[in-house]
Amino acid sequence: MPKPVFTDVLQVGVVVSNVDEAVRKYADEYGIGPWRIWDFNPDTVSEMIIRDKRVNYAMRLALCDIGKVQWELIEPKDDKSLYAEFLKKHGPGIHHAALGVENYDETMKIMRAKGHQILQGGNWHGFGYTYLSTEDDLNVIAEIYNVSPDFAWPEPDDVYPK
């Protein structure tokens, strides 16, 4: 058996129609939160990529931890992103899993050698995120991170509950 490519489950990403409504439901009805909310767009994210090509897109997302796994709710804000495609095709639901890797660059070499492309990615304040075309092999999109050593979480645009 080969050495594992992925070493941990870091996040579950869920596409929703409206982030603000979704965080209220999670928090008010299920006690899940607090949520930190940010707008991702060309003003806040650099190096945006869709299917290995430079493309700008926008989304609003909310993060919270459920146990040891981060939960992410994502609302597409245009029709360009993978999230918009997913929402149109499937409706709201689980979109991806972020998985830990020992070394981002080495993992990218392994994934490229397996024929995988970058479905979507970008760099948010030194936090690089990359979605890989693993749906056919793993039945889920795998996301991996390339985080700068000096990355610090920016203040959220909003929080819920306040």
pLDDT tens for residues 46-97?
999 999 999 999 999 999 999 999 999 999 999 999 999 999 999 999 999 9
Q: Is residue 3 part of a domain?
A: no
What pLDDT was estimated at residue 1?
Answer: 84
Which pLDDT value is given to residue 2?
84
Closest to 111 (Cα-Cα) out of 82, 85, 137: 137
In a domain, 83, yes or no: yes
Q: Give a yes or no: residue 154 inside a domain.
A: no
Q: Is residue 161 a part of any domain in this protein?
A: no
Q: Do the beta carbons of residue 77 and residue 154 sit within 8 Å?
A: no
Contacts of residue 104, Cβ cutoff 8 Å, sequence gap at least 6: 128, 130, 144, 145, 146
Angle in degrees, CA 146, 17, 133, rounded to 5: 40
CATH number assigned to the domain comprising residue 95 = 3.10.180.10
